[in-house]
Amino acid sequence: MDTADLLERSYPGRRAELKRDIFRKALSLFNEQGIEATTIDMIRAECDTSVGAIYHHFGNKEGLVAALFFTALEDQARLRDAYLDAAKTTEEGVQALVFSYVDWVERQPEWARFQYHARFAVTKGPFKDELAERNKTRNLRLRDWLAESGRAAELKALPAELLPSLIIGQADSYCRAWLAGRVKGGPAEYRALLAQAAWRSIRVDALPDC
């Protein structure tokens, strides 16, 4: 959809034009051919550039996959933080987390599809430590929000590391099904229902399931 806008946000300016082009073509090939089947030479041919230029920017294919993955995560986090900053209550904050996730996936389906496919390769590959450090920085705003005064009193006594999964888990599952073509309704169509389910799963006064 607006892949170009995402890349312009992440890598603005004329000097980054080649990098943006490599990203665009690599993203398309990874999604169409698969990450394992796509080669640097295939990407070079699509970009009409040299293999050396690609290696100069990214080191190798694993570096290019990781760079794409990090770009997607950072753009997703920008939207999340913007939504979270506008939330005035804990319930609105939970809604913001779900809404931002769902909206980003629906606006950026190609990036989201790649993100799902590449997650294992990045978390288990040579860039796993960099991913861990980036995740710490990326989630500072979320940790600060969860730690704000009075927040804990509204939420069940749950491990902090479990909360993001409880909040986003159902939305993530539906988004994956939509991207795979297993369901027809766009994620945004159900964003309110998904947010309500997330809030019920963590609010302290929620009734237990019968």
Q: If residue 208 lies in a helix (H) or strand (E), which one and from where to where?
A: none
Residue 2's Cβ-count burial label (10 Å; 0-12, 13-18, 19+) is: exposed
**Cβ count within 10 A of residue 101:** 25
Q: What are the Cα distances from residue 47, in Å, to 7, 81, 208?
A: 16, 33, 55
Question: pLDDT 10s per residue in the chain (210 long)?
Answer: 456 689 999 999 998 999 999 999 999 999 999 999 999 999 999 988 888 889 988 999 999 999 999 999 999 999 999 999 999 999 999 999 999 999 999 999 999 999 999 999 999 999 999 999 999 999 998 889 988 888 889 999 888 889 889 999 999 999 999 999 999 999 999 999 999 999 999 999 854 554
